[in-house]
Chain A
Amino acid sequence: MSADDQIKNYQDLLRQYNILNQLSRTVSSTLDLNKILRIILTGVTFGDGFGFNRAFLFLIDREEKKLLGRMAIGPSSNEEAWKVWGEIQQSSFSLEEYLNSEKFDTQTRVSLLDDQIKKLKISLVQGKEISSCLEDGIPRNVDLSAGYGSDDSYRITDISRIEAGLTEFLDYPKFCIIPLISRTKKVGILIVDNKFNHREITRDDIDFLFMLSQFAASSIRNTLIYNDLKDSLEALAKLNSKLEFLKEYNEKIIESIPVSIIVLDHDFKVTLCNSNSEKLMGRTKDSLIGRKIRKGLIFLDELDLYYELSKVMKEKRAEGFYKTVVTFGGRKNSDIYDIILVPFKFSPEIPEGAVVIIENITKTVRLEQSLAEAKRLSELGRLSATVAHEIRNPLIAIGGYANRVKKKYTESGQINEENLDIIISEITRLEKIVNEILDYAAERKVEHNEINIGKVLQECISLAQAAAEQKNIDIVIDCGSDSISSREIIMNGSFDNLKQAFLNVFNNAIEASETRDKVGICIQLEEDEDGKYLIIKINNRSYLGSEEDAHNIFLPFYTTKLRGSGLGLTITKRIVEQHAGKIDVASNIDIGTTFTIKLPLVRF
């Protein structure tokens, strides 16, 4: 190498160091990613700098699986290239001057190349060159025009070693890939070529590009981190204002609902309450906050709120008090309330407090009461109408025959004894009806003792069998494997009442049956975790006709029979319920009608 060459070499080196110096100074003055990228690419292509024809920048995605085209600088055609370089040579700016000039800052012209690269995505493939250079950090010099097989450690000539998409986009066989890696973190790649003046890329070029890539990568990465941080901070700020909004929103809801809400801390001190609780407590909201719920201050019926609250806080379990009268400081409130106590924690460090939710349900309760009264009155109306009708038939017969007796007596001076018998039997019928009505109306206190229900059933079954024989009806008893007579089935109840209850159902089944029908009586003993039960099913073949008829059958004076008060099943239902039992009826065309009675037992 001649002395002149040596001098030129040193001059080139100096120039390039100088450019690096200028670039790094400019880059460090900003945190705008686009500006940084533009500075780097401009530095690489600036005639006074490296002077490459084109430069491309790709950034790696978060998953590190793809390179996304981000920015390109360079002419998109030969004509454009010469024009641009002509302009630059005319201006006497140095690189740094240019970068800091208004011209650079206001450079808004979007180049075709820049547009195209933004659409480009290159999938990284392990083992191929772009992926590998991001692993080992060493730039790759590519010359696809050199022909297959002329690869050396310095040049890549085989197109299949480059990830798909890039070479087609560049449309020029010689280029250099420079990985951008900040410490160990992959940032992206820089690609340069000389498509228009065809200058060969030298080893020195690559060495300097490599140096440039060091600070380019770290400034890009810093900016990315900074932008991420900025975004998170902005999102956080947004979230904060959202939280503020939510807090206000919640407060408005708490204020507007027609329920008193009082929040207490673990020390029974009021920390929050809504305006609705002012009316209830007789104090303003502000004077309520900070006050303590003391022992003996507020009673829910007979219960001290203080103790109920301690229980809720201790057991961390909500508790409800329904239709409660509240006594506040000895002053009884005539209204009725539903009260719910819920354990509540502000934060994990603070011991459990509680929320008291109080709803005034006076209006609802009064409405319920007037509804029940209306229902009672309408039932009474129905009852009177039916009673009147039931009494009318015997009365007509009595009156009619009395008239006949009188007429006959006037005509012949004789009294017709048969007619008198009819009058007497109709009076007996009337008496029976009136007695049943009185029985139903009487709210007699029933004494319950331990009785053998098996014995009650036996008595009823033999009475029913006698009645069934008269009508030529078969009674079929099914007790499963248990024989009722051989064991004691003990329950708490009234022997006479239960006997009446069973007889009513048995007779009902017999009366509803046609001659030669069968009436089935099935008796079962059952046991579950709640206790022991006796289940009696009574089936007859006749179908009640409709769902509604089945539903109505327990109503007073509802009857499908010719004779009878219509009170039998109503009385049975009442007796069964007095014994904490249940009676149901199901009716369909195929199996007829089945009554099911379930009674709780003491033992069997």
Chain B
Amino acid sequence: MKKILVVEDDMPIRNLYKEELIDEGYDVVTAPDGVVGYELFRKEKPDLITIDIKMPNMNGLELLDKIRKEDKCIPIIIYSAYGEFTQNFSTWAADEYLVKSSDLTEFKNRVRELLDRK
């Protein structure tokens, strides 16, 4: 079973993603900020990581940067409520950049595509 790490500070949204991905048949671990997210990346060795940008302690861009220094290949989806981050070069290190939405269809499609490609 493929393992997905969800890093998201907003609890209801974090749970929403978790439940939806479990429904899709994935094993899901979650982290409320970048620091815990990094620990879980090392410990759990996930197959894919989804990261929110605006987070306390260590934000999504810092986490992305830190992970990419150690692992150039792991698929990462970064998402935010802000569309403007597409212009930020830091987000280009991610495989996908998505704007948050209550419709998770596209999010789930991207997860599947990235895992299939692997």
Does A389 sit at the interface, judged by CB under 8 A?
A: yes
Map CB proximity to A onto B97-117 as digits: 1 under 8 Å, 0 otherwise.
000111110000000000000
Residues of chain B with a CB closer than 8 A to A399's CB: 101-103
Q: Is the CB of A562 within 8 A of B102?
A: no
- Flag whether B95 is at the interface (Cβ < 8 A): no
B10 within 8 A of A: yes
Which secondary structure characterizes the binding site on chain A?
helix
Interface residue ranges of B7-34 to A (CB < 8 Å): 9-10, 12-13, 15-16, 19-20
Bound together, the chains give a CA A392 to CA B79 distance in angstroms of 14
Contact A404–B19 (Cβ < 8 Å): yes
Q: Are B103 and A403 in contact (CB under 8 A)?
A: yes
Partner of A389, one of B13, B15, B82: B82
Distance in angstroms from B66 CB to nearest chain A CB is: 20
> In the complex, what residues of B have CB within 8 A of residue A392's CB?
81, 100
A393–B20 touching, CB < 8 Å: no
Specify which chain A residues have a CB less than 8 angstroms from the CB of B16 in the assembled complex.
Answer: 396-397, 400-401, 404, 422
Known contacts A389-B81, A422-B15; is-contact A395 B102 (Cβ 8 Å): yes
Instruction: Given A399-B102, A400-B20, answer yes or no on A426-B81 (Cβ-Cβ < 8 Å).
Output: no
B19 neighbours in A (Cβ, 8 Å): 404
* One of A389, A400, A422 near B102 (C-beta < 8 A): A400
Q: Are B13 and A403 touching (Cβ within 8 A)?
A: no
User: A403, B102: Cβ atoms under 8 Å?
Assistant: yes
Interface contacts (Cβ under 8 Å), in number, total 47
Known interface pairs A393-B81, A562-B56; A398-B9 also in contact (CB < 8 Å): no
The smallest beta-carbon distance between B71 and chain A, in angstroms, is 28
Least Cβ–Cβ distance between B60 and chain A, in angstroms: 14
Interface centre among B9, B12, B56, B104 (most CB of A within 10 A): B12
Report whether A396 and B82 are in contact in the complex, using a CB–CB cutoff of 8 Å: no
Note all chain B residues with C-beta closer than 8 A to A401.
12, 16
With both beta carbons as reference points, the residue of chain B lying nearest to A423 in the complex is identified as B12
Cα A400 to Cα B13 in complex, Å, equals 8
Chain A residues positioned under 8 Å from B101 (CB to CB): 396, 399
Interface centre among B13, B20, B82 (most CB of A within 10 A): B13
A490 near B: Cβ within 8 Å?
no
* Bound complex: CA A399 to CA B16 (Å): 10
A289 close to chain B: CB less than 8 A: no
- For B104, list chain A residues within 8 Å (CB): 400, 403
The distance in angstroms between the C-alpha atoms of A531 and B101, with both chains bound, is 57
Report A-chain residues with C-beta under 8 Å of the C-beta of B103: 399-400, 403
Number of interface residues of B (CB under 8 A): 16
Question: Considering only CB atoms, which chain A residue lies closest to B17 in the complex?
Answer: A400
Asked whether B56 lies within 8 Å of A396 as measured between CB atoms, the reply is: no
**Binary contact track B78-97/A, C-beta < 8 Å → 1, others 0:** 00011000000000000000
- The interface residues of chain A lying within 8 Å CB-to-CB of B10 are 393, 397
Given A389-B82, A393-B81, A404-B20, do A422 and B12 touch, yes or no (CB 8 Å)? Answer: yes
How far, in whole Å, are A77 and B77 apart by their CA atoms in the complex? Answer: 115
Q: How far is the CB of A315 from chain B (nearest CB, A)?
A: 62
Q: How far is the CB of A414 from chain B (nearest CB, A)?
A: 15
Closest to A396 in B: B102
Q: B39-56 interface mask toward A, CB cutoff 8 Å, 1 = contact, 0 = none?
A: 000000000000000001
| Chain A positions within 8 Å of B82 at CB level | 389
Give CA–CA (A403, B20) in the complex, Å.
Answer: 10
Complex: how many Å from CA A401 to CA B16?
7
User: From B32, which residue of chain A is reached at the shortest CB distance?
Assistant: A562
B12 CB to closest chain A CB, in angstroms? 4
Q: Which residues of B contact A389 (CB under 8 A)?
A: 81-82
- A397 cross-chain contacts in B, Cβ below 8 A: 10, 12-13, 16, 102
Contact of B100 among A396, A422, A425 (CB under 8 A): A396
Q: Are A426 and B12 in contact (CB under 8 A)?
A: yes
Residues of chain A within 8 A (CB-CB) of B56 are 562
- Cβ of A402 < 8 Å from any Cβ of B? yes
**Nearest CB on A from B36, distance (A):** 14
Give chain A nearest CB distance to B18 CB in angstroms. Answer: 11
Task: Report the Cα distance A422→B102, complex, angstroms.
Answer: 14
Contacts of A403 in B (CB 8 A): 102-104
Closest Cβ–Cβ distance, residue A401 to chain B (whole Å): 6
Provide the bound-state CA to CA distance between A190 and B9, in Å.
110
Among A397, A400, A401, the one with the most B-chain Cβ atoms within 10 Å of its Cβ is: A400
Residues on B lying within 8 angstroms of A by beta carbon are: 9-10, 12-13, 15-16, 19-20, 56, 81-82, 100-104
Besides the known contacts A396-B16, A397-B10, 16 further A-B residue pairs in the complex with CB atoms under 8 A apart:
A389-B81, A392-B100, A393-B81, A396-B100, A397-B12, A397-B16, A398-B102, A399-B101, A399-B102, A399-B103, A400-B13, A400-B104, A401-B12, A403-B104, A404-B16, A425-B12
15 contacts between A and B (CB under 8 A): A389-B81, A392-B81, A392-B100, A396-B13, A396-B16, A397-B16, A397-B102, A399-B103, A400-B20, A400-B103, A403-B104, A404-B16, A422-B16, A426-B12, A562-B56
